[in-house]
Structure 1
Amino acid sequence: MRNISDLPRVTLGLYPTPFYRLESVSARYGRDVYIKRDDLCGTALGGNKVRKLEFLLAQAQADGCDTVFTTGGAQSNHAALTAACAARLGMKAVLLLKRRGVTERKGNLVLDELFGAQVELIDTDSYDEIDAEMRRRAAELEQAGHKCCLIPVGGSVPLGCVGYVNGVREFTVQAMAAGVRIGHIVSAAGSGGTTAGLLLGARLFLPGAKVTGVAVCDDPFERIVPELVSGAAELLQCGETGRPGDFEMVENIGAGYAVPNPEDTPYIQSLAREEGILLDPVYTGKAYAAMCRLLERGEYFSGEDAVVFVHTGGAAALFAMDLG
């Protein structure tokens, strides 16, 4: 296996992020439930994209890029964190975002401006169209002497997934130090890259653990995640063969992507009031609520080993929309 440290990487977060037991949640469900606080990674409002961007922007720097293009929804956490990280590295961020969801000057759109990004809302539902527009604009800038890096939605490419292979290695060490055996890992899935990194990381460092992705949109993650796992495994020159049942996708989309589910609100409230932890209604709130419902069922999380919820950030959405 190739050492992860052999890949270009720039440090953008403060690691390791906290890993600890959720006392009230564990007591309620009679099960050890832990949380990995990647919302506390130290950049902007935190979130999972920083681990991906450490590798993606390091490669961009190595390629001599001075401008970074990316995309997402109007309230994209990925886009805001790309803007923040690019600013730290002295790079210009250009965000071509879908004119969908909350497009008023709220939440992440305020942060995009604070980080100095160039933002344009595109009236389309197609990322293919936006990707084509990014390529066109990048070509124009390169004719003017700039060098551009294009990062797809969510940073969900094999190199970005390596960030979460590294993340699993990090909390495996934390769990071992705390005497915790991890049996299950749960996170939100919005573009598939984090789930893929968690799955490959679990196969390498926690081979007995099951990874559950909670889909918050209707992308074909059963196809996307294995493809990303294969690509990341190729980068790391490692095998990616798992065992039957070590990965599953469940859905908690509700009325649609970026639309809060009113039935999730009590779960978001309880975690805030009992643990002081904020979840957003688009990603982490939906994932956490789905995990709690699975815990309520009892039989889903087999065995006695701990369940780990990976908090992937997204708090800015709380300042942009109602919980429902």
Structure 2
Amino acid sequence: MGLPKKLTLAHLPTPIEKLERLSATLGKELYLKRDDFTGMELSGNKVRKLEFALQEALEQGAKVLITCGGLQSNHARATAVAARKLGLDCHLVLRGRPQGPDHGNLLLDQLLGCTFTFMEPEDFNDGHLQVMATLKAAYDEKGTPAYLLPMGASNAIGTFGYAAAYEEIRLQEDTLEAPFDTIVCAVGSGGTHAGLVLGNMLGGSRHRVVGVPIAEDSRLFRPIVTQLTTECLDRVAPGTPLPSEKISFLDGYGGRGYALNTPEEMTFIRRIARDEGVFLDPVYTGKAFRGLVTEIEENTGFFADSQRILFVHTGGLYGLFPKSPEFLF
């Protein structure tokens, strides 16, 4: 496919599993791409993006990684782990402030010895990029070159992670009885969705690729995914047009917003754990997979032409633990 050079951090390829009971109930074949199996510390989709981004960081001589996210950010934790594996330091700019004992991803960030800058939510939303730029300037000035990673590692170089994942899926399809017709993923910052769209285009557009926003909706994410995909196309296939129909979204499942949940979402996560022995996370996969299943159960027609559907399980297990009070047993 001619993608940029990358590191090897993840345990790949991750397996594809069929959800037998759910498939029988819904009358469609549902499969999971188990990207929650990319490695215990690095688990989830973020490491695929980091393999490309951190290759670039090392080439630029970085000694410290600066990135951002929520208090329980999977991306922040994965970046911190990758930094330590590469002998680098990590500075995290996080939305919110710890309340009580650290747990989940934040506990792991502490164990890894990260440096933290905590910001109030209302300040983070509009000011985190400037704070990160100021931190980078300070590190650079004292002779410690810093590399900036955006939220979710969702920039052009990180997007190649899921173009590579798409090719992995295509190779795995060869061992199955029939190919998938649809690939579905959660959309939190846009990079995973954009990478799958890119891979699908470069691979001949064999699949319908659907992104499910877990906060906001496609009005926010369509221009983001379009820009990321276009930037990558310009790098590996200059002049290739990006038809708007290649970027598909399923709206309506963002609930209360980023990392905020409804009782219905938590009940769904518990249902899938008990029916299939699979743990979804409350921020990304719980919302997105609920959207997929709900559309099929309610016969809305959104997936009427989809019979063999692959859902990308992007990880996030550690995000369950801080949410324990919200589960109703």
TM-score, scaled to structure 2: 0.92
The aligned runs of 1:126-165 (5 Å cut-off) are 126-165=124-163
Aligned to 1:213: 211
Deviations 1:304-323 (A, max 9, x none): 54111000111111111134
Structure 1 residue 259 corresponds to structure 2 residue 260: yes
Deviates more, 1:202-211 or 1:17-26: 202-211
Aligned to 1:300: 302
Q: Tell me, yes or no, if the aligned pair for 1:98 and 1:123 is still in contact at 8 Å.
A: yes
* Per-residue deviation, 1:201: 1.4
The aligned runs of 1:108-123 (5 Å cut-off) are 108-123=105-120
Q: Tell me, yes or no, if the aligned pair for 2:230 and 2:242 is still in contact at 8 Å.
A: no
Residues in 1 aligned to 2:244 and 2:129: alpha-carbon distance in whole angstroms:
36
Instruction: Please point out which of 15, 36, 46 is paired with 1:49.
Output: 46
Percent of residue pairs identical: 36
Q: Tell me, yes or no, if the aligned pair for 1:229 and 1:240 is still in contact at 8 Å.
A: no
Residues 25 and 45 (structure 1), Cα distance of their counterparts in 2 relative to 1, 3 Å cut: farther
* Per-residue deviation, 1:102: 6.7
Instruction: Please point out which of 73, 77, 80 is paired with 2:77.
Output: 80
Q: Secondary structure at the match of 1:182?
A: coil
Deviates more, 1:247-256 or 1:228-237: 247-256
Aligned to 1:16: 13
Stretches of structure 1 lacking an aligned partner (at least 5 in a row): none
Residues in 1 aligned to 2:236 and 2:100: alpha-carbon distance in whole angstroms:
39
Residues in 1 aligned to 2:100 and 2:154: alpha-carbon distance in whole angstroms:
24
Q: Tell me, yes or no, if the aligned pair for 1:47 and 1:314 is still in contact at 8 Å.
A: yes
Q: Secondary structure at the match of 1:177?
A: coil
Residues in 2 aligned to 1:128 and 1:254: alpha-carbon distance in whole angstroms:
22
Q: Tell me, yes or no, if the aligned pair for 2:64 and 2:88 is still in contact at 8 Å.
A: yes
Deviations 1:206-261 (A, max 9, x none): 61321211111126012111111101112222525347365224231212211112
Residues in 2 aligned to 1:187 and 1:54: alpha-carbon distance in whole angstroms:
20
* Per-residue deviation, 1:100: 6.3
How many residue pairs match? The answer is: 321
Q: Tell me, yes or no, if the aligned pair for 2:159 and 2:228 is still in contact at 8 Å.
A: yes
Q: Tell me, yes or no, if the aligned pair for 2:94 and 2:119 is still in contact at 8 Å.
A: yes
Q: Tell me, yes or no, if the aligned pair for 2:42 and 2:82 is still in contact at 8 Å.
A: no
Q: Tell me, yes or no, if the aligned pair for 2:42 and 2:81 is still in contact at 8 Å.
A: no
Structure 1 residue 107 corresponds to structure 2 residue 104: yes
Q: Secondary structure at the match of 2:280?
A: coil
Residues in 2 aligned to 1:27 and 1:102: alpha-carbon distance in whole angstroms:
43
Deviates more, 1:272-281 or 1:310-319: 272-281
Residues in 2 aligned to 1:40 and 1:102: alpha-carbon distance in whole angstroms:
30
Residues 233 and 116 (structure 1), Cα distance of their counterparts in 2 relative to 1, 3 Å cut: same
Residues 100 and 218 (structure 1), Cα distance of their counterparts in 2 relative to 1, 3 Å cut: farther
* Per-residue deviation, 1:269: 1.6
Instruction: Please point out which of 171, 174, 183 is paired with 1:173.
Output: 171
Residues 101 and 25 (structure 1), Cα distance of their counterparts in 2 relative to 1, 3 Å cut: farther
TM-score, scaled to structure 1: 0.93
Q: Secondary structure at the match of 1:53?
A: helix
Aligned to 1:278: 279
